[in-house]
Amino acid sequence: MTVTTPDKAPVTDVPASSGTRLVDRVFKMREFAILAVLLVMIAVTQLGNSEFLTEQGIKDLLLNATILVLVATGQSLVVITRNVDLSVGSTLGISAFAAGLYLQGGGNPVVAVLLAVLMGVGFGLLNGLLVSLGQVPALVVTLGTLYIIRGVDSLWVGSRQIVASALPDGFVDFGSGGVWAVPWPALIALAVLVATAYCLKHYGSGRELYALGSNPEAARLAGIPVRRRILAAYIFCGALAGLAGALYLARFGNVDSGTGSGYELTVVSAVVVGGVVFTGGSGSVYGAALGALLLTSINSVLPALGVSSVWVLAINGVLLLLAITVDRIVALRVATALKKRNARHG
Amino acid sequence: MTHPSTTGPAPVLALRDVSKSFGAVRALRDVSLELSPGEVHALAGENGAGKSTLIKTLAGVHRPDSGQVLLDGSPVVFHGPGDARDAGIAVIYQEPTLFPDLSIAENIFMGRRPRRSLGRIDHRATHEATLALMARLGVTLDPDRPARGLSIADQQIVEIAKALSFDARVLIMDEPTAALTGSEVARLFGVVRTLRDQGAAVLFISHRLEEIFQICHRVTTLRDGAFVASEPVDGMTEDDLVRRMVGRDLDELYPKQDVAPGEVALSVRRLTREGVFTDVSFDVRRGEIVGLAGLVGAGRTEVARAVFGIDRWDAGEVHVGGRPLTSGAPSTAMANGLALVPEDRRAQGLVMDLSIERNIGLTGLRSTVRAGLMDRGAERSRSLDWAVRLQVKYARIADAVSTLSGGNQQKVVLAKWLATRPEVLIVDEPTRGIDVGTKAEVHRLLGELAADGVAVLMISSDLPEILGMADRVLVMHEGRLTAELPRSEATEETVMAAATGRAAA
């Protein structure tokens, strides 16, 4: 009794893969589409205002995006596991203040950055433990920690403020200096982004994040250490929020108890606009980074075109709905295409 | 209590006096089981007999409260599914456990991918290993295709490839054939025999008794969580096995009543949904049970969904009792006396967290409303009435449906639709995953309904069920009706020939 039918040669290139190519194309197109929108937007702005793409203009564009890109990268890891971290804004604020306070006391800039990252790790650990052990929806848990961290921040900071003049010169210069138009913080964000994307694609633990977001029960049955992976995603997300806090301090030099307030919503928008599916299992950090770049660019584009910045929030909202609608339509199209294929070949 | 006797080689995996409780429910009581290399071992028992708990114990999902799991004769403790897998135990669960967003290759090798330097995944090796597995299984699935949208049969193939990929010493299959059709089952059995000949131990669960006799050497029976017997299949009859499972003799499995069909109740004319099914025409008369057979994916469920109005149709007409239905309007269909018991009772037939009472009451929301408010009393008495009539086994009518066994859940779905007093009842795989005792009850019920003048359209992949219950058999192949056979002409051969497209329409 043989299993294979002998006359059925192993098929290598059959139309069976057309469904796959279609899916592949669609998901690659997603990142491409955001990039296209971004480029068109910048080109139109440049045509309307030739002052827009000067060296300083590009620098500002990148500087504005850097912090959001970092936090969105961390956030997408969490979202891929079918969770969310709403406390990133609070984490960013409190770690920026901690780093600032330490630097004001004459501390070493490198240690200050490490301090901010470690604080982020701590809060990420807290979130991760609550979500993975408590079996409580991440939305509620991190909404709780959002308020708790903000509350602690307010008590601790009070009416104090970190100002740029109190920070070491080197630190502030680092926040705005760089190679030609590319600022140092942007290079850091880029390095983090590329490394994260590489690990997600080429390491088992990275693929396991997708797996457990795609089907948590199956992940458990496949022997994936689900809790440990979720914990790791939160810690990573927290660490990047902390790092973003340090870069925020370097860039703006100005931190008070309200820093980073409401930031989580921008981050989540960037991630979703970038094509990371909110129900987990799908999306890429590059997409999230492009989403972040798109959202922050709108901030710069509107004033350059002479449109009131009052419109920014509304436009962000429209983009978000648009992104979700496109995702939904594409998902339906793909499902139909795959089904038709099954009907023909199955 | 008889302990299984060791005959052939020493067992690879065994349970000794294992008990497991969930709260007050004792799922397993002192159960022993031995799986030997080169042997296909059947596990039989009604729903709720403890088969799933037993499997999950072997798979490292549950840890026994008392008793031992023995691997190669020595006690082991599995701390999780990963431990069991590393010990060479592969499990194919009843519900496929795939990752819809990941590729087929990734699904197969999740957690154990080929590596290259620095611990990175070797994507190319993964791809090639998957191709090799697919060739071994004689199928042509693209390794890079996402698992989303695969038919249940193909999902099952991926699960089997997963088990093959790490040369499992023990393969456990929980109702792998429930969703498969004849040729797919044959292919699966081919794989199982090969594995067996290579020295793997196989544990096989199926509600289709004939399959147990076809492929298994030994059968262990459970009843109410307790061990009943473990014996060779040779020399047993189906009746013997059923008696062990239910503890009593069973009435006839297909209690078909002869009913003279009345006027046409459901008339479907040239119904087409683009890319799904084409030019489907048939009638169902009052008092008639019409079977709709075909391979999975032939478009049977899709026709039923379109007739009921869940999906739109692109061309054609549907009449119920002479009244035309509109495309894509389930409420019109219901108002005209049409009822649909869907294939997937968990996802489509029931609200799992709601009570039995509320679930049955859902279809009667209109009739149990007084002055714009729900009449809870009316709902309860209506639900109780139907639950009793269908002999649903429950503790309290206010219990969540999720606490019931599969067979009883199916009865609740039936009750929910029968409570609407339908003229036409469409049932999609009415006994899939239901134990043999409840199966006979569902069949009896369908027979009685037909005798009462209800027109029944029964979709089923269980060929004996179609042949045993239907007055007429319609067969679909790739979206078209390929045959209409009266009861006298319907045999396994004629139906399968039409279902596989070998017969002229």
Q: What is the pLDDT of residues B104-143, one digit of tens each?
A: 999 998 877 777 777 788 888 999 999 998 888 778 888 9
Task: Return the pLDDT at B116.
Answer: 78
Residue A190 has pLDDT above 90, yes or no: yes
Q: Are B101 and A5 in contact (CB < 8 Å)?
A: no
The distance of A203 to chain B (nearest Cα, Å) reads 5
**Whole-angstrom Cα Rg for chain B:** 24
> What Cα–Cα distance (Å) separates residue B375 from each residue in B246, B293, B334, B354, B413?
39, 41, 21, 17, 21
Q: How many helices, marked H, and strands, marked E, lie in chain B?
A: 16, 22
Task: Return the pLDDT at B307.
Answer: 93
Query: Which residues of chain A are within 8 Å of residue B149 when distances are taken between CB atoms?
Result: 19, 334-335, 338-339, 342
Q: Does B120 touch chain A (CB under 8 A)?
A: yes
Query: Which residues of chain B are within 8 Å of residue A278 when distances are taken between CB atoms?
Result: none
Q: Are A340 and B141 in contact (CB < 8 Å)?
A: no
| Alpha-carbon gap, residue B300 to B478, rounded angstroms | 9
Strands B315-320 and B323-324: antiparallel
The residue to which tokens 């989303």 are assigned: B148
Residues B154-188: b if buried by 16+ CB within 10 A, e if exposed: bbbbbbbbbbbbbebbbbbbbbbbbbbbbebbebb
Confidence of residue A235 (pLDDT cuts 50, 70, 90): very high
Q: Please, are residues A61 and A297 in contact by the beta-carbon 8 Å criterion? A: yes
**Residues making up chain B, counted from first to last:** 505
CB-based contacts of B37: which residues, under 8 Å, 6+ apart? Answer: B9, B12, B169, B199, B200, B201
Q: SS3 of B106, please?
A: helix
Suggest the residue from B85, B110, B295 to mutate for an interface test with chain A (most A CBs closer than 10 A): B110
Overall pTM surpassing 0.80 (yes/no): no
A-proximal residues of B, 278-337, CB under 8 Å: 296-297, 299
Task: Return the pLDDT at B192.
Answer: 86
Q: Please, are residues A66 and A250 in contact by the beta-carbon 8 Å criterion? A: no
Q: Does A203 touch chain B (CB under 8 A)?
A: yes
Among candidates A218, A336, A342 on the partner chain, residue whose Cβ is nearest the Cβ of B297: A342
Task: Return the pLDDT at B472.
Answer: 93
Suggest the residue from B83, B98, B101 to mutate for an interface test with chain A (most A CBs closer than 10 A): B101
Task: Return the pLDDT at B154.
Answer: 83
Q: Does A314 touch chain B (CB under 8 A)?
A: no
Q: Which amino acid is at B454?
A: V
Q: Where are the alpha helices (DSSP H) in chain A?
A: 18-48, 55-80, 88-104, 109-134, 138-157, 169-176, 184-202, 204-214, 216-221, 226-252, 263-273, 285-304, 311-345
Among candidate residues A238, A245, A237, the one with its CA nearest the CA of residue A92: A245
Among candidate residues A261, A243, A286, the one with its CA nearest the CA of residue A31: A286
The token pair that represents B416 in the structure block: 């929910």
The distance of B81 to chain A (nearest Cα, Å) reads 5
Residues B261-283: b if buried by 16+ CB within 10 A, e if exposed: beebbbbbeebbbebbbbebebb
Among candidates B81, B83, B197 on the partner chain, residue whose Cβ is nearest the Cβ of A221: B81
The distance of A153 to chain B (nearest Cα, Å) reads 39
pLDDT digits (tens, 9 = 90+) for A161-186: 998 888 888 888 888 788 888 899 99
Q: Are B275 and A339 in contact (CB < 8 Å)?
A: yes
B-proximal residues of A, 141-200, CB under 8 Å: none
Query: Which residues of chain A are within 8 Å of residue B142 when distances are taken between CB atoms?
Result: 16-17, 19-20
Max mean pLDDT range (A2-6, A12-16, B94-98, B365-369): B94-98
Residue A342 has pLDDT above 60, yes or no: no
Task: Return the pLDDT at B69.
Answer: 92
Residues of chain B with pLDDT under 70: 1-9, 23-25, 47-48, 179, 248-252, 365-370, 502-505
Confidence of residue A26 (pLDDT cuts 50, 70, 90): low
DSSP label of B145: S
Confidence of residue A102 (pLDDT cuts 50, 70, 90): very high
Among candidates A2, A17, A203 on the partner chain, residue whose Cβ is nearest the Cβ of B142: A17
DSSP label of B363: G
Confidence of residue A339 (pLDDT cuts 50, 70, 90): low
| Beta-bridge mates of residue A182 | A179
Phi/psi for B385 (5° steps) reads -55, -50
| Beta-bridge mates of residue B41 | B203, B218
Q: Are B111 and A208 in contact (CB < 8 Å)?
A: yes
Query: Which residues of chain B are within 8 Å of residue A20 when distances are taken between CB atoms?
Result: 142, 144-146
Task: Indicate the Cα dihedral angle B400, B405, B407, B412, nearest 10°.
Answer: -10
Q: Does B113 touch chain A (CB under 8 A)?
A: yes
Q: Does A24 touch chain B (CB under 8 A)?
A: yes
Query: Which residues of chain B are within 8 Å of residue A11 when distances are taken between CB atoms?
Result: 140
Mean pLDDT of chain A: 85
| Alpha-carbon gap, residue B112 to A20, rounded angstroms | 23
Residue A344 has pLDDT above 70, yes or no: no
Phi/psi for A177 (5° steps) reads -80, 175
Q: Does B274 touch chain A (CB under 8 A)?
A: no
Residue A10 has pLDDT above 80, yes or no: no
User: Helix A184-202 crosses helix A55-80 at what angle (to 10 degrees)?
Assistant: 30
A-proximal residues of B, 126-155, CB under 8 Å: 131, 134-138, 140-142, 144-146, 148-151, 153-154
Strands B373-374 and B369-370: antiparallel
Instruction: State the average pLDDT over residues A126-140.
Output: 90
The residue to which tokens 């497991």 are assigned: B20
DSSP label of B326: P
Q: Are A281 and B99 in contact (CB < 8 Å)?
A: yes
Q: Are A14 and B140 in contact (CB < 8 Å)?
A: yes
Q: Are B144 and A17 in contact (CB < 8 Å)?
A: yes
Q: SS3 of B26, please?
A: strand
Q: Are A4 and B61 in contact (CB < 8 Å)?
A: no
Residue A12 has pLDDT above 60, yes or no: no
Among candidates A221, A282, A335 on the partner chain, residue whose Cβ is nearest the Cβ of B61: A221
Q: Are B81 and A217 in contact (CB < 8 Å)?
A: no
Closest chain B residue to A19, measured at CA = B145
Query: Which residues of chain A are within 8 Å of residue B99 when distances are taken between CB atoms?
Result: 210-211, 214-215, 218-219, 281
Q: Which residue has the higher pLDDT, A4 or B377?
A: B377
Residue A95 has pLDDT above 70, yes or no: yes
Task: Return the pLDDT at B367.
Answer: 67
Closest chain B residue to A214, measured at CA = B99
| Alpha-carbon gap, residue B349 to B410, rounded angstroms | 8
> What Cα–Cα distance (Å) separates residue B425 from each residue in B327, B428, B454, B504?
18, 10, 7, 29
The residue to which tokens 């075109």 are assigned: A305
Q: Please, are residues A171 and A103 in contact by the beta-carbon 8 Å criterion? A: yes
DSSP label of B36: -
Instruction: State the average pLDDT over residues A198-207.
Output: 91
Q: Are B111 and A214 in contact (CB < 8 Å)?
A: no
